Amino acid sequence: MPQNPDPRCRRSAVLACHPAAPCRAVQVLEATACLLDGHRLAIGFSLRGDLDRLRFPAPCAPRRTDRLWEHTCFEAFLARPGQDTYWELNLAPSTEWAAYRFRRYREGGCPAPDLEPAITVHRTHGRLDLQAVVALDGLDPGLGLEVGLSAVLEPLDGPLSHWALQHGPGRPDFHLRAAFALELHPGAQT
């Protein structure tokens, strides 16, 4: 993240676990999003806990890969205020990624080639940090963005665990527009 970004463009939050599949291996999962220069988005996830009780994909060269949400991955959903169109970005700790564009709620799901992220991952005992920077040339975030930050974690001994800024009723669904709970606004950078 840049040094001292304008507070109007940076938001941080602790993600909440969906109650249907608690994950006791996790102490805390924090997420951060920041518009860097009006054309790039920095996203960060910091996972702390007993990482040996979670399954992570093996590191590999960065590449586009589908179905990352079936295993441990971090996600960002991006939309312009007042528009139905939105984008989904999947970021795996392996540095694999996927990006999709939807016309409206779960409709479309076409690959979004213009959202190729640069991903870095750092893991130490009890902590995993994933950072990604993505150019937003196809999104035009000049009026701001509504952002949903979420994660799917794969425990060794249980079902997938779903984490988000906000969960709707029923089963986990990161595509719900109410889950796009962070608002980012472009601001002057230092």
**What pLDDT does residue 2 have?**
37
**What pLDDT does residue 129 have?**
98
Report the top-level CATH class of 13-184.
mainly beta
pLDDT in tens, 143-177: 789 999 999 999 999 899 999 999 989 999 999 99
Tokens of 96: 């694999």
> Residue ranges of the domains in the chain?
13-184
Q: Which residues contact 84 (CB under 8 A, 6 or more apart)?
A: 103, 104, 105
Contact 182, 167 (CB under 8 A): no
Tokens of 127: 């902590």
Please choose, from the candidates 89, 85, 92, the residue with its C-alpha nearest in 3D space to the C-alpha of residue 113: 89
Residues of the chain with pLDDT under 50: 1-9, 188-190
Q: What is the pTM of this model?
A: 0.90
